[in-house]
Every structure is written in C-alpha cells, then in structure tokens.
Chains A and B, each alone.
Chain A
Amino acid sequence: MSINNDQPDLQRRDFIGKTVLAAGAATVAPGVLLTVANAGSDEGVSSAVRWGMLIDTNKCVDGCSACVEACDKENGIDLIERPQGQSDEMWNAQRPQWIRKVKLRDTQTGEISNLPMMCQHCEHPPCVDVCPTGASFKRADGIVMVDRHICIGCRYCMMACPYKARSFIHQDIAEQLTSAPRGKGCVESCHLCANRIDAGRETTACQDACNQEGHKAILFGDLKNPDSEIARALKAQHSRQIRADLELNTGVRYTNV
C-alpha cells in the first residue's frame, strides 16, 4: 500500500498533539523517530515497576471526601443514574464504590482515625486466584484489575476480596467515559488510574484531589524504585498493611492506624 494512500488515515488518527513538535519531528530521520517511539509503551507495562500507595491517616480529614468525588469523576461513576424508586440503602449497597471513606475509633483508647479504602492491589490477590475465567488479573506493574471483556459476573472475586473492594454493576449504564467503559453484569474496582499511568502520568485522581485540598494524605508511586518519594517514605516511617495477617503484600499501605 502506498504511503500516499495512507495519508488521510493518519489525519483521522489525530496525528497531531502538538503541531509544532510533530512538524519538527517529521523532518527528523525515521530511524531516530523509531527509537523515540519504542521507548514508549509499546512493550506494555513492565514488572520493573510496582505501583502502590501510602496513605497517611493522620492527614486524612474527617468529613472530607475529595478523593471519592475525584474518583467518581475520573472513572465516570458519577454518570451512573440511580434506578427509579430505589431506596437510599439499596442504592448505597448496589452502586459501585471504588474508593470509600471509613472513620474508625479505637475501642481501647477512643482514638479516631479516618482513611480511604480501595482495592489494595495485593501482590497475591485472592480475587485473581478465584476468578474462574481469568478476567481478574494482575498487570505486570502490580495493578489488579478486571478484564470486563471476559468477566462473566459470577462475583466470586467479590466473595474472595478481604477488603470488599469490588463492585458489581447492577443496572444498565447509559453513559460512560471513553476512558472508563462500564456495563451491566460485570465486576470492577479501583485500577490505580491505569489509564493515566499508561498515558505517562504519575498521579492518581484521588491523590491530585487530596493535594488540591491541601491535605496531602495520599502518596502514589513506584514501590520498586528506591528513589521514588513513596519508597523513601515507606523506608523512613512505620506503615502497615490492612489485614497483614493474610500475607497478601498489599500495594496500598497506611501509616498511623
């Protein structure tokens, strides 16, 4: 096929992000270009990285739900309409919640702590172990997610997850975001904003929102890179996994609980 013939299809592929850059790049020799391009995500995610989170519960503020709202917006959860006539209780029990705020009191000391709960991105995820079809899987970079193309909606993963991190879609979904497909009958959960990460960004929506509020309770980054902020923070202070007794080696960790 001739290059000429293919020209228009480049046009339709939104060839340009930044015209100037592209025009400049186009004049460079193809070989150079290729190496640049290959440095990108063509090989896919790599296991040299493991994404994780560190949540400082001391900084998490009572009554604040910026992270939850940001997550709902980022992942189109706010586009889901409540079925007519559904009670508050059922709506809360049935709508997807990727991240939720939990407020705790120590039964001995009375100490109050606040924290967000979401999929903990276990290194040995029970949800993946039990999924009959393999729809539940862990990416090389440690993100656990559901391939909703093959999920049959058996909900076994929801039974297996120790953190109740997963949600089943109980109704028809009229509108989705391009970056967040969603449909009735499949299971989904937090994927650490994988779409952002794949696009080269290194923050999650919840983290951005928390920072914007000035609380800075969520730190996101590469656990395997000793120089990353999160790795250094983990080294410097005591943190814990929730239900560490299950030895799942979670990617999301908490300090001060």
Chain B
Amino acid sequence: MIKTQYRELYCSSPRYWGGLASLAFIILVGLGAAFYMEHNGHFVTGMSNQIVWGLPHVFAIFLIVAASGALNVASIGSVFGGPMYKPLGRFSGLLSIGLLAGGLVVLLLDLGRPDRLIVAMTTYNFKSIFAWNIILYTGFFTIVGLYLWAMMDRKFEQFKRPIGFAAFFWRLALTTGTGSIFGFLVAREAYDAAIMAPMFIIMSFSYGLAFFIITLMAAYWWADRSIGDLRLAKLKNLLGVFVGAVLYFALVYHLTNLYVTQHHGVERFILLDGGIYTNMFWIGQVVIGGIIPLFLLYSPAFATSRFAITVASLLVLIGGFFQIYVIVIGGQAFPMNLFPGKEVLESSFFDGVVAGYSPSLAEALLGIAGVAVSMILVAIGARMLRVLPESLEDPAEGECV
C-alpha cells in the first residue's frame, strides 16, 4: 500500500499571492460595506421591520449549512472507513472550519449591535435555540480542530476515530440547530414544518460536498497536482445522490405543506404566484440547483468531463443559495395570517400584504465577503498545514473496496 503523502499547498508565488490578494480585496470591500451599514444604521439596507433577515442572513445560513456538510467527506473517510475518501479527510475538516467562520462573520457583522459581541458570548438564554447555536458553533470549531489534529499527528492516531464520531454527531446537531432556528418560528407558516431540520441536514450534505469538490479541484489546479478520475467519479456520484435527496426533501416538504390546509396560502405563494420567489423556487432551486446538475452528473456524455463536474457543483451552490433565499426571505415576505377569514383593508404596517424586499449592494458585498473569508482561510490553512495529499491519483486496484 502506498502511503499518502501530505504536503503544504505550494504553487508559484504570483498565483498564490495573487489569489490571496484578490480574496483579501473582496473581504476589505465587504468590511467597508459592513461599516457603512453599521455606521448609518440598517436603513441603508433593504431590510425593514417586515423583512427582518435579509441577504446577509441568506449568505450566513448558506455558509453555515455548507460548513457542516463539508465535514461529510472526513466522516465517510474515518468513521465509515472509505479508502477513497480517507486522504481527503484533512482538507474536509479545514474547509468546514473555514466555511463556518465565513458564515459567522457575516452573521456577526449584520447584528444591530456588533459591538456587543461580548454580550452575545457571555449572556445566554438557554431557552433560545439561537444561544444553543452559538455553543454549537464554538464546539464545532473545537471538535473539528481537534479532529484535524488527530488526523495530522500520528501520536494522536488512536483518538482519531472517537473524535471523528464526536465530530460527526456534533455537526449533525449543528445543522439540526441551524434548521431549528426556523422550526421554532411557529407563527410563520412557511417554517412551521417538522421536516425543516432533516431537510437542512440533507441540504448541508449537498452544499458542503459541492463546496468541497470545487475547492479541491481549485486547489489542485493551483498547485499543479493531480486528482484521479476514479476518486472524482466517487465524489461526483455522491453529489448526485445528495442533490437528488435535496430535491426529494423539497418535494416532501411542499407536499406535506399542501396536506395542511392552513398552509395552502404560503404554498400557493411559493409554488405559483409569489413572483420572484416562485421564479427562484422553480428556476433557481429546482432547475439550476437540481435538474441541470443531476443531468451533468449522471449523463454518460459527461462521464469523465471535469468541466461538467465543476459546473454541476457550481450550479448546486447557486441553486442552494436560491433555496435558502426562498426559505429565509420568501418565508418572511408571505404575510402572516393574523385574522383568519378576514382580509386586511388598511394597515400602516403591511399587514396582509406581501412585504417587498430589494437587497442593497452593501448587503450583497457583505455576504460575498463572507464567502471570501471562508476561501482565504482555506487557502492559508492549506498552505500552512499538511492537509492536501501530494497526489490524489487513484489507488492501485486491490485497495478499493
């Protein structure tokens, strides 16, 4: 058996530093945008008392969800012992830490009072799922950090499996927690579904793996290392399964909602006449994020096309972004039904009407900066730590189970 050699990510300086510099630039712009928002107050954003969570939250939730899914590869490798995935475990851990950090940065910078971070970290209301999430996130950093260590330091080899298990369960809890943020909003019809938490888990698998494939291929392109076709095909097939599962869950979610009579309104809104949200659902989530990637992944015509895999992963991410957008913003835009059997004729507070939301540039820049934070962390981490194998050529015949 050939031992996998891990080595820091070295590539020609201009390429590496150039990439890093452009990421840093995006982050700077995003920080500027955040400062602008905080300095003026949120009135410069599209968010309001109607749409209280906007684009930054979409980005943040997207990244956090993806973070826990990115760890999946490591889990498969060390918990379930798949030899094809094993050498990828370290990078998977690093990526998940990066994504989580990126998401949290966005979430934090969008607070009304980010200067009170210390309050958020020290004053807890243990009834709040949000507070639990803060604990889950911190714990995730710790556990995945330890996990990385255990994977990288031979002395701690024996802890690898237990910590791997811990990380596996922790990140399931984390995604459930993130999903439950919405599950607890009983009053909002779009969120009032038990399936929300498992759906978030499966979404995390899909987005996390898509992120993983893209960053992995980018890193190997950067460093002129090679990835074996077989290995990529494994990842690709896995992604296909997850994408299909997400679609399936979306279907079940909407079907169960259709079953509940009170929720017909919101279903109609998302599926039929919600304007932008309907478009985002059908075009963004279903077609771009589901059908096209499935086609690219499974069509024999693209069986070995790396380009197709990249495009499919990118589309999964874009579709996933739309999916979260529809959940977060669409769910808020749909009016809460305070008075069943009545229609609202007049209200100064948009009762009974679909709330409008047009995100501002600043929000978008902040969100994108969050992605850049994730990527820069991964880039730096991969350069400093031995997370990426020297070569990911396919293992010799006999080793594949």
Interface of A toward B, CB cutoff 8 Å: 68, 83, 86, 89-90, 92-97, 100-108, 112-113, 117, 126, 128-134, 150-156, 158-164, 166-172, 184-187, 242-243, 246, 257
**Is the CB–CB distance between A126 and B187 below 8 Å?**
yes
B175 within 8 A of A: no
The complex places the Cα of A90 from the Cα of B130 at a distance, in Å, of 28
Q: Hey, which chain B residues are within 8 Å of A105, CB to CB?
A: 342-343, 345
**Is the CB–CB distance between A168 and B123 below 8 Å?**
no
Q: Which residue of A lies closest to B57 (CB)?
A: A155
Contact of B113 among A89, A158, A162, A186 (CB under 8 A): A186
Q: Which residue of B lies closest to A106 (CB)?
A: B342
**Is the CB–CB distance between B49 and A132 below 8 Å?**
no
Q: How far is the CB of B189 from chain A (nearest CB, A)?
A: 11
B4 within 8 A of A: no
Knowing A93-B48, A93-B355, A164-B336, the reply to whether A102 touches B347 (Cβ < 8 A) is yes
B226 within 8 A of A: no
**Is the CB–CB distance between B124 and A90 below 8 Å?**
no
**Is the CB–CB distance between A129 and B127 below 8 Å?**
yes
Knowing A103-B344, A112-B345, A152-B111, the reply to whether A93 touches B351 (Cβ < 8 A) is no
Q: Hey, which chain B residues are within 8 Å of A131, CB to CB?
A: 125, 128, 130
**Is the CB–CB distance between B185 and A158 below 8 Å?**
no
The complex places the Cα of A110 from the Cα of B186 at a distance, in Å, of 29
Interface of B toward A, CB cutoff 8 Å: 38, 40-43, 47-53, 111-114, 116-117, 119-120, 123-125, 127-131, 133-134, 181, 184-188, 332, 336, 338-339, 341-351, 355-356
**Is the CB–CB distance between A159 and B332 below 8 Å?**
yes
The complex places the Cα of A163 from the Cα of B342 at a distance, in Å, of 15
Q: Hey, which chain B residues are within 8 Å of A166, CB to CB?
A: 49
**Is the CB–CB distance between A186 and B112 below 8 Å?**
yes
Knowing A89-B356, A107-B342, the reply to whether A185 touches B112 (Cβ < 8 A) is yes
Q: Which residue of B lies closest to A113 (CB)?
A: B342
**Is the CB–CB distance between B53 and A108 below 8 Å?**
no
**Is the CB–CB distance between B112 and A108 below 8 Å?**
no
Q: Hey, which chain A residues are within 8 Å of B119, CB to CB?
A: 133, 150, 152
Contact of A243 among B184, B338, B355 (CB under 8 A): B338
Q: How far is the CB of A164 from chain B (nearest CB, A)?
A: 6
Q: How far is the CB of A224 from chain B (nearest CB, A)?
A: 24
The complex places the Cα of A172 from the Cα of B347 at a distance, in Å, of 26
Q: Hey, which chain B residues are within 8 Å of A89, CB to CB?
A: 356
Knowing A106-B342, A132-B124, the reply to whether A154 touches B49 (Cβ < 8 A) is no
Q: Hey, which chain B residues are within 8 Å of A117, CB to CB?
A: 338, 347, 349, 351
